[in-house]
Structure 1
């Protein structure tokens, strides 16, 4: 299911990436950012949250507080997330007492998105907003157009 994770305490911000490469930190991005940096494919069956612009780049945590984009490693618990058990909170399946959190309750562009012990605060509340199939197809065309070189 493709969509974006809206920050509940600041609805014009979503979970995104600083750059589309391995090791990039998850950060807050404005909702009108480049689509390749803010759209995610949530696999409810595996728990993986995959960058929609890539088939093999997923949200991962190394056991510390950082959440980064990493190559998919099938079955790796640090790459699996639960968004259903505690509604509004995204819990890591390896570190089950930790959830996705906006660092220091930040609401600005590029504020780090981290893994932090669950405390129920607004900094930890997210809403997955799915795209319908028609929107996904239109957005896919836009993303492809962003990647094409301009002919000026």
Structure 2
């Protein structure tokens, strides 16, 4: 499944990267960022979350930070669980920890870390699949979800 991870605390931000290389840290990115830096493929069977623009790069844990790393199917730090607690991305290496925006930050570039689960909005992510909509219209539709309706 391919899509965005929209940040609950600030719906105009998504989980992304600024550089597509090994050890590049994950950070908040604006929804209109380059697609190659914000689209992810989720494999629920393996638990891997892969950067769509590079089959070999997955989310990994490095010293409390979430980074891009070369895929290693035997590395538990590259396995994630999104089903156990809906809206949260739990580490399969340590199920008490989830992906979190540092200090509840909402600004572009704010670092993404691994933090003990506390249920805060800074730890909540909505996966928005793009296989149900065209990539050209994806950003507009994701942004429109959070606008109030004028009925």
Distance change (3 Å), C-alpha of 1:127 and 1:138: closer
The residue that corresponds to 1:123 in the other structure is 122
Distance 1:45 1:125 in 2: 21
Q: Does 1:33 align with 2:33?
A: yes
On the 8 A contact 1:2/1:136 being kept in 2, the answer is: no
Residue equivalent to 1:68: 67
Runs of 4+ that moved beyond 3 A? 136-139
Query: Residue in 2 aligned with 1:43?
Result: 43
- TM-superposed CA distance for 1:36, in Å, is 0.5
Q: Taking structure 1 as the reference length, what is the TM-score of the superposition?
A: 0.86
Alignment TM-score, normalising by the size of structure 2? 0.87
- Flag structure 1 segments of 5+ consecutive residues without an equivalent: 140-152
2:138 aligned with 1:135? no
Looking at structure 2, the residues matched to 95 and 121 of structure 1 have their Cα atoms a distance apart, in angstroms, of: 18
